[in-house]
Amino acid sequence: MPFGPGEIGWGLACGIGADGHWHGWYVVRVRVDALRRLGLHPDQPTAQADGPSPPGWWHAAAERRA
């Protein structure tokens, strides 16, 4: 793994959403200096989402083909 101890952290949060259903989500954090070592940094334009996520049918089709 390209990250050493203390360079990466993660967590899981769960809760009841506005629709009454349980939802869970992960948070992953990587230290900036660890990303720079791999040639990445948070100021790069590709470090952020650059458009909307593909529609749901696209994800389902990709999973069927996998």
Cα(29)–Cα(46) distance, integer angstroms: 17
Q: Is 10 left (phi over 0), alpha (psi -120 to 50) or beta?
A: beta
Within a domain: 66:
no
Q: Report the pLDDT value the prediction gives residue 11, as an integer from 0 to 100.
A: 93
Residue 29 lies inside a defined structural domain of this protein = yes
CA 42, CA 45: separation in Å to the nearest integer? 8
Residue 56 lies in a domain: no
pLDDT for 41: 75
Number of domains forming the structure of the chain:
1
Segment 4-54, tens digit of pLDDT: 889 999 999 999 988 999 999 899 998 888 888 888 877 776 666 677 888
| Domain span at 19 | 1-42
